[in-house]
Structure 1
């Protein structure tokens, strides 16, 4: 078996005198989709910039198709980069935008029309090819943003929050584009805060916290391990928890699942059943509206992986395909 398309080995990254990534190891094969999950500041965007060749590591190595993308233009040309910001010319038509990006990517003039047509087809946006980008909906603009990254027919596509701010129909259309890319053998690295999106798209997941990989593996394996145990419990509160209620919830093995503090999910699934838990927490003054019990999902792994003990008290994980964290 040959080397993977992407190999990151022993990577540290220092920016502005601060350690941003520490001891990162991962492989990504052609046709695989890897989702990066983690809180803001965890290092997801920095890791993607390393893979894209926008940054060079402070230690360790990054290889794309055997070459260093920071030093080798050939490696960078094998990569499609889709930033979260829309990087298009609003007054130009969709086709004109793709032509410009094809020129920037080094696509020869004689090949440019075929490359534009192929990108329009892959992104399923041929019907808006003659419309100025500035007249399109947010979902269409995001698809054009993806199409622009495909002009050099890359073997690897990097996407940073590709469905941010779009409605459900646009999100489904973007997911369909990524399905077609994967079916064509393209490797995909996606940074997302959307757990349902990661479950929908990814074959592998990595959780980053404080610049380290705290859990990683093939999604199917991780979910199978998770769902072999007790079910997950989710609490809805009538009002945000105060200090005493927060302490009670944490003692009971829960973590806040949203900034408003009205939904809490179990990170330890053993303990009281739903009715007994509801009574016990209410007796402690926790304003619980209801307790829901369900099969655990990817978010349960995330909450567990990001608990402080996981980051501070364990060695960083080295991950290769087939090794579940």
Structure 2
């Protein structure tokens, strides 16, 4: 078997005197989608910038198509970079924006029109091609942002929080774009706080915490291993837990899905059945409204991966909702 399209080996990175990545190893094959998940400040965006060739590692190596993206233009030309921020010209039309980004990407003038048409088609933007970007909805602007990264027909596309701040319809449209890219054989590396998005898009996942990969693998395999055990349990409280109730919940193996929230999820599976657990927690003063039992999903892997290392997690979330709004780590 040949080399993977992306190979990250023993990577370490220092920024402003602080170690932000330590001994990171990851591979990504052509046509695969890898989702990076982790708390804010875990190092996701820094790792994306290394792969994009925007940063140079202080230790280890990053290779894209066998070349160093920091030093070699051929490697960078194989990459489409989609930052979380919208990087477009609002007064220009969608097609004009794409033409400019094609020029910046080195697409020859004679090939630029065809490249614009191909990007419009891939991102399903033909109906707004002649509209100024500034009048478009946030979801459309995010799709134009993706289309701008496709002008050089990259083999790898990097996306940092691609559905941040968009509604469900726009999110579905963006996911459809990524499905078409994957079907075309494009490798995708996506940093997201959204468990549902990762489950929907990714064939592989990697959890980052404090600059290290704490778990990685094929999503289907990880979930299959997890689901051979006991189901996970989720608690709904009538009011947020006070200090006493929080202590009881944590001793029972639960963690909050968000700071000050009323949903708590098990980080240790098994133990009492739902009815017995409800009775015991209520007897200890915990304001539990209901206990839900279900097959474990991606967030259970996340909590399990982070907890043994003593990493405080205040960014957990329900499936299909963001861990926390804001920039990735």
By the TM > 0.5 criterion, same fold? yes
Distance 1:213 1:88 in 2: 33
SS of residue paired to 1:307: helix
Tell me, yes or no, if structure 1 residue 63 matches structure 2 residue 63.
yes
Tell me, yes or no, if structure 1 residue 250 matches structure 2 residue 250.
yes
SS of residue paired to 1:162: coil
Cα deviation per residue 1:211-239 (whole Å; 9 max; x = unaligned)?
00001110000010111111110001111
SS of residue paired to 2:20: strand
- Does the aligned pair in 1 maintain the 2:12–2:20 contact within 8 Å? yes
- Does the aligned pair in 2 maintain the 1:8–1:25 contact within 8 Å? yes
Show the 5 A alignment for 1:47-58: 47-58=47-58
Shift of 1:308: 4.9
Cα deviation per residue 1:152-199 (whole Å; 9 max; x = unaligned)?
000000000101111111111100100000010000000001101100
Distance 1:308 1:46 in 2: 24
SS of residue paired to 1:74: helix
Shift of 1:245: 1.0
SS of residue paired to 1:303: helix
Cα deviation per residue 1:87-108 (whole Å; 9 max; x = unaligned)?
0000000000000000000100
- Does the aligned pair in 2 maintain the 1:214–1:311 contact within 8 Å? no
SS of residue paired to 2:102: helix
Show the 5 A alignment for 1:13-162: 13-162=13-162
Distance 2:259 2:47 in 1: 25
Shift of 1:241: 1.1
Tell me, yes or no, if structure 1 residue 203 matches structure 2 residue 203.
yes
Shift of 1:246: 1.1
Distance 2:259 2:103 in 1: 44
- Does the aligned pair in 2 maintain the 1:38–1:193 contact within 8 Å? yes
- Does the aligned pair in 2 maintain the 1:80–1:158 contact within 8 Å? yes
What do you get for the CA RMSD once the two structures are aligned? 1.0
The answer for the alignment partner of 2:323 in structure 1 is none
Q: How many residues align?
A: 312
Cα deviation per residue 1:111-163 (whole Å; 9 max; x = unaligned)?
00000000000000101000000110111011000000000000000000101
The answer for the alignment partner of 1:168 in structure 2 is 168
Gaps of 5+ in 2: 313-329
SS of residue paired to 1:214: strand
Off by >4 Å, runs of 4+ in structure 1: none
Distance 1:246 1:73 in 2: 53
Distance 2:238 2:134 in 1: 43
Q: Given the two structures, how large is their TM-score scaled by the length of structure 1?
A: 0.95
Shift of 1:80: 0.3
- Does the aligned pair in 2 maintain the 1:214–1:310 contact within 8 Å? no
Distance 1:30 1:311 in 2: 33
Distance 1:159 1:260 in 2: 30
Q: Given the two structures, how large is their TM-score scaled by the length of structure 2?
A: 0.93
Cα deviation per residue 1:54-109 (whole Å; 9 max; x = unaligned)?
00000000000000001111111110000111100000000000000000001000
Distance 1:163 1:58 in 2: 31
- Does the aligned pair in 1 maintain the 2:241–2:260 contact within 8 Å? no
Shift of 1:310: 6.1
